[in-house]
Amino acid sequence: MTGRGLLMLSLLMLGAIAVAAPAGREGGSKPALRLLASDTPIVSFRILFRTGSQDDPPGQEGITALAARTVAEGGTADLPYDEVVKRLYPMAARLGVQVDTEMTVFTGEVHRDHLQEFYRLFSGLLLAPRFDAADLERNRDLLLNQLRNSLRGNDDESLGKAVLNGALFAGHPYGHEVAGTVQALEKLSLADVKGWYRSRFHRGRLTLGLAGGYPDGFQERITSDFAALPDGDAAPPVLPAVRAPEGITITIAEKPCIATAISIGLPLNVNRSDPDFYALLLATSYLGEHRTFNGVLMNQMRGVRGLNYGDYAYAEKFREDGGSVFPASNIAQRQQFWSIWIRPLAHDNAHFALRQAVRELDRLAQRGLTAEQFETTRAFLLSYSRLWTQSLSRRLGFLLDGDFYGVAPLGEELARRLPALTLDDVNRVVRKHLQARDLHVAIVTPEGTKLLAALIADQPSPIHYQAAEGTPEAVLAEDREIERYSLKVNRTASRVVAAADLFER
């Protein structure tokens, strides 16, 4: 990790929570409310709607993202965007939006001295959005640039993940980028976006998350104010079954780049509501805990062989929470996937690295964990997960995700379930849900056709060390096994696409 004069835009992290949270939920005609009271001088909001890109109608992909952005980065009925920004500025308050597949969360954080003034602006944006045409265009341009330039051209790791998501959920409401498609975004009108916000961001899909040092009576005020939103159908769209790949199914996005990025995934019919998830999380942490040297992948691929910067595995959709290595909240999904992330490596090591990662998955699926591996990983997760909720905003996010899945926040579930887990539980779950035969693989590389042909041919692919001298004989012997590890590529389902053509429609 390096940095120069960094202007870190880190999310506000809050201190200790002095008062245990009397969490409550109110029903009836009022919106759902979740509270975490605390003595801190900061007040944190998470205004969450169960509306996400899964709701985008065909041909209007991106409408949820564009509507939510235009609301959060627009004006109120009384004030244009620049005036809202000007008034927020001296408070150093934060206001943002995160749109994801199943949910959209509007976030706000402010010192309680400014709470009333901040809340007037924040609630004004959400309850009486201005929808200026200029705000729509500014936000549309940002989303278009994200698709046309950032993803297609300038962020190969994100491109690999987007291609993997597209392959896993082809023909499914999760299958398109949250930002949408170029052609759909270009066609959306102000009337479309206004209508979409009014019809999909309603009380039936709303949970108000409030945390920190808010004054007495504030929760009643916010509940009453947001009751003014129209009511609507709370049911999310019915999701079709996700089709599993047959064999190793490869999608290569071809573009100029100096290194090859790889993501591997498989559909998973397990999420946090399922007891199996917690055993799977433990086994996945053992294989490749994000940004740590705990995992087998990190140690074997980076540590022993110097192939790249990092290699990790995930038991559910994962994104780093800004400024940390911890999991972001409010990206929950009913249908999940399991994945491996191989960070960019030299083109001539791509085949070897893919073989090595799939082989390690295969070994885990076949052998499971040993008692020692199980115990050390369990102890790690029990302590490490305590660090995820150092800030109040994160605690609130995990609380809302717990509601989504019908369980307690993730850290609490781990604290409750891990001590009761046994090695047999974990290895049973590994055998049930993990395998290395039928996988989606997404690759970003400049010579895609050549690489796909090599993958299909399944000939040995020796590692190319930057400096081979001194490599222990045991490692070289294992290299010879890895370079011959057979990947049964599904040649009819695998394909090469030009990165420049992706996300168009």
Partner 1 sequence: MPRLLEAAAFLLALAAIGGVAPAAAAGGLFPFPVHEKVLANGLKVVVIPFDSPGIVAYYTVVRTGSRNEVEPGHSGFAHFFEHMMFRGTERYPAERYNDVLKALGADSNAFTTDDWTGYYIVASSAAVEKMFEIESDRFQNLRYTEAAFKKEAGAVLGEYRKNFSMPFLALFEKVQDTAYTTHTYKHTTMGFLADIEAMPTRYDYSLKFFDRFYRPENCIVLVVGDARPEATFALAEKYYGSWKRGSHVVSIPAEPPQTAAHEASVPWANPTLPYLAEAYHVPGFSTTDTALPALDLISEHLFSESGTLYKELVIDKQWVDLLQGGPDQTRDPGLFNILARVKEPDRVEEVTTRIRAALDELKTTPVAAERLAQVKSHHRYAFLMGLGTAPSVARRAAQYLQLAADVGAIDRVDDLYNRVTPAEIQAAAKRFFVPENRTRVVLAQKQEAKS
- Amino acid letter, residue 132: D
CA distances from 93 to 37, 85, 215, 322, 485 (A): 19, 10, 18, 17, 54
Among 297, 307, 439, 482, binds partner 1 (CB under 8 A): 307
Minimal distance, residue 164 CB to partner 1, in Å = 16
Question: Which window, 48-56, 258-266, 276-284, 312-320, contacts partner 1 (CB under 8 A)?
Answer: 258-266
Task: Give how many residues touch partner 1 by CB under 8 A.
Answer: 94
Question: Is there binding between residue 308 and partner 1 (CB under 8 A)?
Answer: yes
Site membership for partner 1, residue 492 (CB under 8 A)? no
8 Å CB contact between 301 and 389: no
Nearer of residues 155 and 362 to partner 1, judged by Cβ = 155
Residues 6-25 that bind partner 1 (CB under 8 A): 6-7, 10, 12-16, 18
HSE-CB for 378 with a 13 A CA cutoff: 20
Q: Is 384 in the site for partner 1 (CB under 8 A)?
A: yes
DSSP three-state, residue 110: strand
- In sequence order, which ranges of 73-131 are alpha helices (DSSP H)? 81-88, 115-127
Residue (74 or 245) nearer to partner 1, CB: 74
d(CA 129, CA 107): 16
305 binds partner 1 (CB under 8 A): yes
Rule CB under 8 A: say whether 161 interacts with partner 1.
no
CB of 372 to partner 1, least distance (A): 10
Strand partners, 492: none
When asked if residue 505 is in the footprint of partner 1 (CB under 8 A), the reply is no
Token couple for 42 = 């900061």
Please tell me whether residue 155 binds partner 1 under the rule CB under 8 A: yes
Evaluate the CA torsion angle 286, 290, 296, 299 in order and state its sign.
negative
Q: Rule CB under 8 A: say whether 113 interacts with partner 1.
A: yes
Per CB under 8 A, the list member of 77, 128, 133, 134 interacting with partner 1 is 134
**Residue indicated by tokens 């070897």:** 352
Query: SS3 letters for 394-442?
Result: HHHHHHHHHHHHCCCCHHHHHHHHHHHCCHHHHHHHHHHHCCCCCEEEE
Contact 103, 329 (CB under 8 A): no
- Under DSSP, the state recorded for 505 is -
Q: Does 419 participate in binding partner 1 (rule CB under 8 A)? A: no
Supply φ then ψ for residue 75, to 5 degrees.
Answer: -110, 180
The reply to whether 382 sits near partner 1 by the rule CB under 8 A is yes
Among 154, 183, 366, 459, binds partner 1 (CB under 8 A): 154
Binding mask 215-254 for partner 1 (x = CB under 8 A): ----------------------------------------
Question: Interface residues for partner 1 in 322-341 (CB under 8 A)?
Answer: 324-326
Interface with partner 1 (CB under 8 A), residue from 46, 302, 317, 351: 302
Q: Taking Cα atoms as reference points, which of 297, 356, 308, 366 lies closest to residue 487?
A: 356
Report the site for partner 1 in 459-478 (rule: CB under 8 A): 465-467, 469-472
Least Å distance between CB 378 and partner 1?
10
